[in-house]
Amino acid sequence: MKRDNAYLVGNQFARGAKPNATAFTEGHEPWNKGISVHLSPDSEFKKGQKPINHLPIGSIVQRTSRKNGTRNWIKIAEPSKWEEYAKYLWKQAHGFLINGDITHHLNGIRLDDRIENIIALPRQDHPLFHNKWWLKELTQEQKEYYLSRY
């Protein structure tokens, strides 16, 4: 059995009423048809103009999110291609990041993006190094194992 949704179409409150005096009628042409309005052409955005908040490639900014806290991001391409700075440093040092791996800060400080403080490990292993009291240290064998994958 199909439901009749005709009652949802159009303004049912005004059904059957005549249009008001200011409503457009059929065949009416608005006064500004074909006119482009430029109220202040000197201050308008022009094609090819860079915005005032434009940052060059290589710029590093800090972004804050509810889930991941504050992290550093680097601009890697135009117009707006950004990458997490820890991942960028890892790729510069080791050439690639295995699909499914994430970067982990060994000392737990997300803004400390020194290469000796970063290690790449599988996403599924990452919760093992964070317990309910904050951070569990990696043993030297674990560090060597994760580094040997690269």
For 58-117, how does the pLDDT look when each residue is reduced to its tens digit (9 = 90+)? 999 999 988 878 999 999 998 889 999 999 999 999 999 999 999 999 888 889 999 999
In a domain, residue 67? The reply is no
Q: Residue 114 domain-assigned? A: yes
When pLDDT is cut at 50, 70 and 90, the band that residue 6 belongs to is: low
- Cβ contact 83:74 at 8 Å: yes
Query: Could you give the number of structural domains in the chain?
Result: 1
DSSP structure class, residue 68? T
Residue 7 in any domain: the answer is no
Cβ 86 vs Cβ 72: under 8 Å: yes
pLDDT in tens, 22-66: 777 778 888 888 888 888 888 888 888 888 889 999 999 999 988
- 133 falls within a domain: yes
Its sign, for the CA torsion 13, 17, 18, 21, is: negative
Containing structural domain, residue 120: 85-148
What is the pTM (predicted TM-score) of this model? 0.66
- What's the distance, CA 44 to chain centroid? 27
pLDDT at 129 over 70: yes
DSSP state of 106: T
Residue 94 lies in a domain: yes
Residue 137 lies in a domain: yes
